[in-house]
Amino acid sequence: MKDRDDDAGLTRALALSRELLAVAEHGDVRAVADLDAERLRLLHSQRLKSRHMDADERLVLQQISELNDKAIGLLEHRRRGTEREMDTVAVGRRALIAYSDTRLRR
């Protein structure tokens, strides 16, 4: 027989996953890490309580996994964008230095 605490733990982990995805869309990496840590504690606790999972529990875990994959994708996309911006700034700085040096010599 399933324990209500088990259902509540997985339900809370799913809610945290949804919240984590929403926060990831805004790029708040610190909040994502905090939510992920809380969710991880819940999932570890769930694993220690029950070794056998029924179909409903597996479905919730699958949803958590899908939300996690989406959040990771959003954060990776944002990271790549930030890297491109940093590269652009670096090129601009090098150009500024190069042209500033040339202008001073004239």
Query: Where are the domains positioned within the chain?
Result: 4-105
Rounded to whole angstroms, how far apart are CA atoms 14 and 5? 14
C-beta of residue 14 within 8 angstroms of C-beta of residue 64:
yes
C-beta of residue 36 within 8 angstroms of C-beta of residue 20:
yes
pLDDT at 6: 59
pLDDT at 47: 82
pLDDT in tens, the chain (106 residues): 455 665 788 999 999 999 999 999 998 999 999 999 999 999 999 888 777 878 999 999 999 999 999 999 999 999 999 899 999 999 988 888 888 866 555 5
Task: Identify residue 14 by its one-letter amino acid code.
Answer: L
pLDDT at 104: 55
Contacts 24+ apart (CB under 8 A), 48-52: 49/3, 49/5, 49/6, 49/9, 50/2, 50/3, 50/6
Topology of the domain comprising 4-105: Methane Monooxygenase Hydroxylase; Chain G, domain 1 (1.20.58)
Rounded to whole angstroms, how far apart are CA atoms 89 and 76? 20
